Amino acid sequence: MRSSALRNSKDSRGKVRDIYAFISEHLYFSRPDLNLHGEPANATLLLSLLTALTGGKALVIGEPGLGKTTAAEYVCAMVYGFPLGVIWSSVVGGHPEQTEEKIVGRPDLGKLNQGEEAVIWSHFARLPVKIVDEINRLPETKQSLILDGVERGKWEYLNQSLINNEFCLFATANYQDQGTNTLVPPLLDRFDIVVESKHPGANIASLIGQDSSPETILRHPTSEETFLTALQGGRNGKQDPIAQAHKQFAKVVQQQCGIALLSHTERQTLRQDIAAMEVDLAANAFIRMVLSELSFCCQYGQKRSGEACAEGCHYTGYLCYEVNNCASNRLPGSIYRYARALAWWLGHDRVEVEHVRLVLPYAMAHRTKWRESYLLTRERERRQEPLMLHAARQATADIFRRFHEQQHDVMQALSLAAHCLENDTDITLPQGDHPLYAEIRRDLGLE
Amino acid sequence: MNWQDVIVDIWPQVRRKHLWPELAIPLVDDIETSVAMRMHDKQITLNVETCNTLAEHLPAAIVAEALLDHGISHYTRCPWDFATHLQLYSTAKAELGRKSLAKLATDSFIDVVANTSCVKDLPTPIPDIYRHLGGGVLEGALTALYTHIWGMDLQGSGDPALVRRLGRIPYLDRQQWMPSVRRFSRLLQPLFEEETRQQQTPLVFGRHSLDSYSPEEVLQGLQAFAQQVSDIQQFRDTVGDFTEDLERLGFGAGRGRGCSVDADVLYYMQLAQTYRLPIRSLPMERSGSLEPYSHIPWEASKPVQDIDVWTSFGKLLPGVSQTWVRREGFTYGQREGTPDCLVMLDSSGSMTNPREHVSFAVLGAGCAVEAYLRREARVAVYNFSDAYMDGKTVLPFGADRQAIYRSLCTYHGGGTSLRLRDIEALRRTAASPVPDLLLITDMQITNLEEVIDYLIGVDGRITVVHIGENSATDRFRQVTRHYPRLRVFTVQDRQDIPQIVLGQVQSYFAMSSHRAASAPSSSWL
Amino acid sequence: MVNPFQAFRHYAGVRRELPLDRIIAQRDHVLQQLLQGYQAFVEEESRQLVWVVEQGALSRAYTTAVDVLQDIHFTVEDVEDMCTELDGASGVITPLGAPSGLFIAAMCNHTEEREITLNLRSMTRRWPFLGYRLPRGRRLFLEGDVGDFVGALLEGGEVTVTGNAGNYAGIGMRSGTLQIGYSSGKNTGEGMRGGVLRVEGRIAELGKIKQGAIYEGNQQVFPAEP
């Protein structure tokens, strides 16, 4: 069973890699900015792909016109097998006049006039692909509406519900300008990762627009019409017309682009394989060190917004001194999700420290409120990404250094703690300077 | 033997062993000196000659793996960063007194720590290499040390008493590296001297220079080191020994080659980086008018005039109809910039010479300079002692940090008088109509009354920082206490400095932030 | 209750145990014993009245130090480390001048090695009483400057100081050799009853000498050459 699953995974992996290669060569021109075991990759494209595959939630930021939305559209079109026109019909634009009716669904007015409540669900709610363009131009209430819906995969309107079996969310945001609202921390925390869609450089940018519009590759009016009709006719919840439309579009893509799209079953199997991927002990210990540095406070029990560390704290050299808020419980989930996906992408059989180290900056950048002095130290450093991502990357490097020095001692301490909890009282816990040791003692009731 | 192929084969497992350091794949090349490898800005290059020599005794893969383990461990174990390197060097130099000996001691210590860490934590063939490396008396003694502390016979040659003493140093305890390098240096001093006399390459694995670090790492290291040292002299003594390397990396006066490095200027520049001001660049103001903001479902008790007919589908039903929520709009306030700043620094005989001891006056001026330059304002410097007798350094308004810091670090000594005509002339050259004035002095100015009269009468915001307390400062405070544009601060210790700079400018920002009190807080999105 | 450490239950570290670990552990253990012994020694001597540099008190203090050191197995390297530790100590362990010097002297006299070298150049303190009652067959080589009372009551051993000595160098020497590389202070050779004291540099002032020989450079100053 496992070997056939692995075979399927390999085929799926091959398809996904083909999709990645196709998009990067024909649709989304970008510079590689990640080095994955010697293999260059573009962070925006790769992480978007992994988001679509695993059903994550990604916040894509960047200057206007740098492909934030288009990257998400292309990835979703090819992973979920929808023509671009259908994807476009489901995109929610960020502007203050957005209403729940435009986002989620509206009453069937015909039936309403006859006294019957029925809901016509929007394409945004129905399709597994959720793209919100310029989410920070939405009022906070609408941001919250979308994120709550995606969190649970369930949409409600007029006491009726629609449940998505699979979904992913891409939200794009420009940097702060006159017409934008703030993405408040509770909303930011719901995103698994944040990634910047960068300018590809003058040479690559000069290629854009030379050929005919790349979108035509993924446009197929016949398929789009079939889909839209099926979606409109799907008010009775029948999926068959949509499944047929998927097959038709997949055939078109195979013929035109030579790319085999993923079926629903393949996506499900792939997700199961990713979720079942083992995390090795070193990676596990590293994640624990990260979480302890982002949540621990020797003075106040845990980090809290508005409670800054006093000068001269014993843990001044650790990140807990540099952050002003506590890591949420969504952070480890995001780390595991994307580290597993990355390991799967690379064809590894388990998650290792390297996978965690690569995804961690993207998972923590938007969730961390840094002490001003830490940010201002980083501000003047040379970097290739926004300050928050750069600060997160440097913080990751700092924690990794400590992990590198102490990994054996930390894992030994965790092992001894396991024995202690099983009432093995002859064991003496090793002492260490890292906040994780204090956390272990707290868990054992020794502090 | 194609060594590059060997490296390509073993590189993935070596990287995995060291937890994937962010290093490029190593190269193999002819290196002029007889060292085993060269490390330049995260690129490891192995010496093909050394590789061939060692391959006569060991398999090629073992040779390559051992050399790479050693090279990578310098990035992952010791010294890891430039600040640590500087600290080790500084401690060794304090013990040995000479640059050449200190460098050799630092390099040797780094090698011992890196090798021992590898041997302890990883499966590594480094010990095999040492059986065949050769080298002089120093390398022989270190090999004997490895035999003693690793428990393997590596056929080294060293005085047993010396080796026993070296073996008692806790190399793997990072917290004790400084006392350890001191003891290490003291014990091996005779061998260092002998190796230096022979002028050969004493360490087979090569020396560790600034080339191993990127310019950004060097900058971070200098900053960290400036904060760690107790006095400017220690900084100068240490950093001054790396002048050539720093000049090559462009840390001299201006950028580019051939520019000399002034360690004192570098010290204040790096130290001033640690004091910061918050930056609010674009204040928002409420426009005063209500604008539609978002929809919420209409409830029966709510007024009907804000119902949006279009989104309510023509129905007036609770839960179906949508009504507008309005909020006050925001517009941009008048753009506020930062005026230029004229820094008047007293460097008379009663003030500390910044090149001999840490001068709080210069440090405070540096912090203020950083605050203004960060906000794209320009700074002029009037460094004075007895200005009437030409004891002054005048730098016109500009943004050249190196030039500004050099002007600040100039020490005139002598008497103290401030030539106000010079100040006025300089002030009028500012681009902004009313530049800020910052006066740092101990107030023992000959023409203090004239200065007071001038400061009271001039436009713009004035910050006066006096070092220490005396009757002149009391007089100054008393006369100027009713002038709101003029604020006076005292500096007794380094901790007072951020309060000074922030105090004056913060109140200015506080005024503008008060106007936009309910504006959304600036964030990155 | 969920065991959050379950995943690590069977973790077995792969770190090699090096002789270095054993050496450092042993060193720390012995140093700890020596520091505790020193603390006990100081407390014991503090119970007596004022610290008086007179022979009876010194002899008693030295005996106390020897008793404290009896059950501690230390080497000459431990002596050096103890000097370093006392030199840098502050707060809990108080490196009082005279007791420290006596304690170190007791260590030097009872370590297994016959030849001891102490590098005092980088130390901030000038230990007094180094070489106190050094017995025959032992050689103490002191690199750097020393404090007062170096080689006091020397009992046949050889003490060499490469730097300067303080006052009362060689006080009460019975036999043996005391060599000082540079200068010595006042009362040099006070109460000396035998042995040879050589000062390569200047002697500030001679004390009341009974017997023995004292040289200042190449010139014998006691007994004065006719």
Return the residue matching tokens 């100068």: B236
What's the confidence (pLDDT) of residue B505? 42
CB contact under 8 A, A415 and C14: no
Residue B389 located in a structural domain: yes
pLDDT higher than threshold 80 for residue C89: no
Q: Are B68 and B141 part of one and the same domain?
A: yes
CB contact under 8 A, B151 and C19: yes
* Nearest of A327, A326, A348 to residue A339 by alpha carbon: A348
Domain that includes residue C69, residue range: 19-219
What's the confidence (pLDDT) of residue B473? 83
Q: How far apart are the first and last CA of chain B?
A: 56
Q: Rounded to an integer, what distance in angstroms lies between the CA atom of residue C141 and that of residue C163?
A: 11
User: Which residues, in sequence order, are CB contacts of B82 under 8 Å at separation 6+?
Assistant: B210, B213, B217, B218, B220, B221, B222, B225
The mean pLDDT of A331-358, rounded to a whole number, is 95
> B235 CA to chain A: closest CA distance, Å?
20
Q: Which residues of A touch C17 (CB under 8 A)?
A: none
Residue A378 amino acid letter: R
Q: Rounded to an integer, what distance in angstroms lies between the CA atom of residue B413 and that of residue B415?
A: 7
**Residue C180 pLDDT grade (very low, low, confident, very high; cuts 50, 70, 90):** very high
Contact A189, A37 (CB under 8 A): no
> C166 CA to chain B: closest CA distance, Å?
24
The mean pLDDT of C113-123, rounded to a whole number, is 87
Residue B523 located in a structural domain: no
What's the confidence (pLDDT) of residue A10? 52
Q: Rounded to an integer, what distance in angstroms lies between the CA atom of residue C121 and that of residue A172?
A: 66
Q: Are B209 and B221 part of one and the same domain?
A: no
The H or E element that residue A364 is part of is helix A353-364
C25 C-beta neighbours (distance < 10 Å), count? 10
The mean pLDDT of A259-281, rounded to a whole number, is 93
DSSP codes, B244-266 = HHHHHTT-SSSSSTTPPP-HHHH
What's the confidence (pLDDT) of residue A156? 87
pLDDT higher than threshold 90 for residue A143: no
What's the confidence (pLDDT) of residue B511? 42
What's the confidence (pLDDT) of residue B516? 38
B507 C-beta neighbours (distance < 10 Å), count? 12
**Most confident region among A199-213, A331-345, A400-414, B239-253 by mean pLDDT:** A331-345
Q: Rounded to an integer, what distance in angstroms lies between the CA atom of residue A316 and that of residue B293?
A: 44
Q: Lowest-pLDDT range, A226-235, A355-364, B468-477?
A: A226-235
* Nearest of B219, B254, B222 to residue B235 by alpha carbon: B222
**Token pair of B368 as six digits:** 């203020």
Residue B271 amino acid letter: L
Q: Are B186 and B300 part of one and the same domain?
A: no
**Token pair of C161 as six digits:** 């100081």
Give the neighbours of chain B: at least 3 Cβ pairs within 8 Å: A, C
What's the confidence (pLDDT) of residue B360? 84
Q: pLDDT per residue over B3-40, tens digit each?
A: 999 999 999 999 999 988 888 899 998 887 777 888 88
DSSP code of residue C14: -
pLDDT higher than threshold 50 for residue C118: yes
**Residue B278 pLDDT grade (very low, low, confident, very high; cuts 50, 70, 90):** very low
Round the CA-based radius of gyration of chain C to a whole number and report it: 21
- The rounded percent of chain A whose pLDDT value lies above 90 is 45
The pairing of strands C155-161 and C139-143 is parallel
Structural domain count of chain B: 4
What's the confidence (pLDDT) of residue B279? 35
Q: Rounded to an integer, what distance in angstroms lies between the CA atom of residue B6 and that of residue B68?
A: 12
Mark which of B192, B213, B234 sits at the end of a domain.
Answer: B213
**Token pair of B159 as six digits:** 């005085």
Q: pLDDT per residue over C194-204, tens digit each?
A: 999 999 999 99
pLDDT higher than threshold 90 for residue A59: yes
Residue B279 located in a structural domain: no
CB contact under 8 A, A415 and C11: yes
What's the confidence (pLDDT) of residue A212? 64
Task: Decide if B12 touches A, using CB distance below 8 A.
Answer: yes
Q: Which residues of C touch A408 (CB under 8 A)?
A: 13-15
Tell me how far the alpha carbon of residue B307 is from its chain's centroid. 59
Strand intervals (E) in chain C:
115-119, 139-143, 155-161, 175-180, 193-199, 211-216, 219-222
Q: Lowest-pLDDT range, A170-174, A297-301, B63-67?
A: A297-301
Q: In degrees rounded to 5, what are phi and psi of residue B514? A: -65, -35
What's the confidence (pLDDT) of residue B323? 83
Alpha helices in B293-429 (DSSP H): 360-374, 401-408, 420-427
Return the residue matching tokens 């961390």: A368
Domain that includes residue B292, residue range: 284-332
Residue C40 located in a structural domain: yes
More confident residue, C89 or B271: B271
When the pLDDT of each residue in chain A is averaged and rounded to a whole number, the result is 86
Domains within chain A, CATH numbers bracketed: 2-275 (3.40.50.300), 278-443 (no CATH)
Q: In degrees rounded to 5, what are phi and psi of residue A315? A: -100, 35
The H or E element that residue B398 is part of is strand B392-398
The pairing of strands B379-384 and B341-346 is parallel
Beta bridge partners of A40: A35
Structural domain count of chain C: 1
Question: Which 177-206 residues of chain A touch chain B by CB within 8 A?
Answer: 178, 180-183, 188
Packed helices A353-364 and A281-295: angle between N→C axes, nearest 10 degrees: 30
**Token pair of C118 as six digits:** 């102490």
Q: Are B63 and B194 part of one and the same domain?
A: yes
**Token pair of B472 as six digits:** 């002149």
What's the confidence (pLDDT) of residue C94? 52
Q: Which residues of B touch A195 (CB under 8 A)?
A: none
Q: Are B4 and B150 part of one and the same domain?
A: yes
The mean pLDDT of B398-410, rounded to a whole number, is 90
Do you find a cis peptide bond into A200, omega within 30 degrees of 0?
A: no
When the pLDDT of each residue in chain B is averaged and rounded to a whole number, the result is 81
More confident residue, B437 or A377: B437
CB contact under 8 A, A415 and C8: yes
Q: Lowest-pLDDT range, B330-334, B446-450, C100-104?
A: B330-334
More confident residue, B157 or B172: B172
The mean pLDDT of B348-353, rounded to a whole number, is 86
Return the residue matching tokens 């097959």: A247
Q: Are B152 and B195 part of one and the same domain?
A: yes
Residue B369 amino acid letter: V
Q: pLDDT per residue over B161-215, tens digit each?
A: 899 999 999 999 988 999 999 999 999 999 999 888 876 666 667 677 777 787 7
Complex-level ipTM: 0.84
Residue A41, sorted as left (phi over 0), alpha (psi -120 to 50) or beta, turns out to be: beta
Q: Rounded to an integer, what distance in angstroms lies between the CA atom of residue C165 and that of residue C160?
A: 10
Q: Which of A37, A99, A282 sits opposite B311 (nearest CB)?
A: A99
**Most confident region among A37-41, A192-196, A380-384, B419-423 by mean pLDDT:** A192-196
Do you find a cis peptide bond into B170, omega within 30 degrees of 0?
A: no
Q: Are B326 and B469 part of one and the same domain?
A: no
CA geometry: angle B44, B46, B51, nearest 5 deg: 155
CB contact under 8 A, B121 and C18: no
What's the confidence (pLDDT) of residue B520? 37
The mean pLDDT of A298-308, rounded to a whole number, is 84
Q: What is the pTM of this model?
A: 0.81
The mean pLDDT of A67-74, rounded to a whole number, is 92
What's the confidence (pLDDT) of residue B282? 36
* Nearest of A83, A105, A81 to residue A154 by alpha carbon: A105
Residues of C with CB under 8 A from a CB of B: 14-16, 18-20, 23-24, 27, 77, 80-81, 84, 88, 119, 121-122
When the pLDDT of each residue in chain C is averaged and rounded to a whole number, the result is 87
What's the confidence (pLDDT) of residue B105? 94
CB contact under 8 A, B525 and A96: no
The mean pLDDT of A415-423, rounded to a whole number, is 87
CB contact under 8 A, A281 and C4: no
What's the confidence (pLDDT) of residue B376? 80
Residue B524 located in a structural domain: no
pLDDT higher than threshold 50 for residue A315: yes
Sign of the CA dihedral running C217, C221, C223, C226? positive
Q: Lowest-pLDDT range, A35-49, A291-305, B212-226, B318-332?
A: B318-332
The mean pLDDT of A252-278, rounded to a whole number, is 91
Residue B427 located in a structural domain: yes
Q: Rounded to an integer, what distance in angstroms lies between the CA atom of residue B303 and that of residue B298?
A: 9
* Nearest of C118, C192, C99, C83 to residue C178 by alpha carbon: C192
The contacts found for A331-335 with CB under 8 angstroms, 24 or more apart, are A331/A291, A331/A294, A331/A363, A331/A364, A331/A367, A332/A287, A332/A291, A333/A192, A334/A56, A334/A192, A334/A193, A334/A363, A335/A287, A335/A290, A335/A359, A335/A360, A335/A363
Residue B424 sits in a domain whose CATH number is: 3.40.50.410
Give the burial class of A260: count Cβ atoms within 10 A of its Cβ; 0-12 exposed, 13-18 middle, 19 or more buried.
middle
- The rounded percent of chain A whose pLDDT value lies above 70 is 92
CB contact under 8 A, B295 and A100: yes
pLDDT higher than threshold 70 for residue B350: yes
Residue C39 amino acid letter: Q
Q: Rounded to an integer, what distance in angstroms lies between the CA atom of residue C83 and that of residue C77?
A: 10
Q: In degrees rounded to 5, what are phi and psi of residue B302? A: -85, 155
Q: Are B156 and B12 part of one and the same domain?
A: yes
Q: Rounded to an integer, what distance in angstroms lies between the CA atom of residue A194 and that of residue A386?
A: 11
User: Collapsing DSSP states into helix, strand and coil, what is residue B40?
Assistant: strand
Residue B76 amino acid letter: T
Q: Are B298 and B256 part of one and the same domain?
A: no
CB contact under 8 A, B276 and A139: no
More confident residue, B296 or A249: A249
What's the confidence (pLDDT) of residue B288? 64
